Amino acid sequence: MELIERYVQQVGRFLPGRDRDDIKNELRSLLQDKLDDRVAGSASADASEDDASEDDVVALLKERGSPRKVAASYSGERYLVGPELYPQLMQVLRTGLVVYVIVHVALLALGSTVITIPSLIESALSFLGSIPGFFGAVVIVFAILERQDVKLKELESDWDPHSLPAIDEPGRFDLVSLFVGLAFNMIFLSFALHFWRLGGVPLVANPMSEVMILPLSRRLLFAAAGLVTLQIVTDLYVFLQRRWQVSTRVVRTLLDATAAFPIYYLLLEVASGLVGRVAPVENLLPLARQGLKGGLILVVAITLIDGAVKVYKSMPRR
């Protein structure tokens, strides 16, 4: 039955790659045999898995335990943090990372106005580089708890087989892509807040000249920073939920498409400001506007189409 296959697939995600396929086949066969015995014992001798109800399958899977516990029984004691503490470890890492990012965004918003672009980039890269240190510190603490045989509150005491994700996992997120997008948004937010404090983009014609500020609309900078902040919040929510939902896909798509507009108008202001300072190329301004407008239409169209496809894939199948 599908529920058994979903259970087997979920167990496999907690198993080492080398033995995963063999253990999954063994577990699948064991569950099917147990189900046949259960149905045969409660009905006729020729009963088969096809005669089993969903309640029979749910009862069988509850007897076996949650996928994580079953995987631990096959894997043995080979973990830095054992299966008893692993769920709490992951919960602390997810919650701690969200708090970590929120605090950093708040520090960016309250930062000094004398921040320079090189120091801004260094700050953003330093933040990204410090994340592994945060993860390492948490893991070390839990490794010590493991060696001291500390037992924390069970998180899966009320485990329900119906909570198993679908086999094809339409809502599963790519952790690497999520963090790359998060890093890009953090850097963009750093620049947007910095330019908002300055009132524009600093320009240096040559090393000997003074820094000039190319004015930009503070409202547009604030709008761009606000939309990027909402994108970060959405990504953090998905990270906590460990999967994309139809609602989060729709919200993220709308945010991506909307964010393109203030960026488009900011680029127009930059282009107009640069052309205004260089009179011989004033005839390039209409061409720049047309190019930026075409880019805006293309970006919004691609974003909406890609988002619509992802929303469709995230919809539950019957």
Residues of the chain under the 50 pLDDT cut: 44-49, 112-114, 155
Q: What is the model's pLDDT at position 208?
A: 60
CA distances from 60 to 168, 187, 285, 293 (A): 23, 50, 70, 60
What's the pLDDT tens digit per position in 266-304?
A: 988 888 877 765 555 556 677 778 888 898 999 999 999
| Structure-token pair, residue 22 | 């063999």
Q: What is the model's pLDDT at position 31?
A: 85
**Rounded CA gap, 89 and 110, in Å?**
31
Instruction: Burial-class residue 250 by CB neighbours within 10 Å (0-12, 13-18, 19+).
Output: middle
**Rounded CA gap, 60 and 32, in Å?**
10
Q: What is the model's pLDDT at position 301?
A: 94
Instruction: Burial-class residue 230 by CB neighbours within 10 Å (0-12, 13-18, 19+).
Output: middle
**Rounded CA gap, 286 and 69, in Å?**
65
Q: What is the model's pLDDT at position 27?
A: 86
Long-range contacts of 301-306 (CB under 8 A, 24+ apart): 303/253, 303/256, 303/257, 303/260, 304/253, 304/257, 306/253
CA 103 vs. chain centroid, Å, equals 18
Count CB neighbours of 146 within 10 A: 17
- Per-residue DSSP letter, 77: S
Count CB neighbours of 126 within 10 A: 10
Q: What is the model's pLDDT at position 45?
A: 44
**Rounded CA gap, 149 and 87, in Å?**
15
Long-range contacts of 309-318 (CB under 8 A, 24+ apart): 310/244, 310/249, 310/253, 311/246, 311/249, 311/250, 311/253, 313/170, 314/170, 314/171, 314/244, 314/245, 314/246, 314/249, 315/170, 315/246, 316/166, 316/170, 317/166, 317/168, 317/170
| Sequence-distant (≥ 6) Cβ neighbours of residue 227 within 8 angstroms | 255, 258, 259, 262
Q: What is the model's pLDDT at position 191?
A: 80
Q: What is the model's pLDDT at position 304?
A: 93
- Residue 291 one-letter amino acid: G
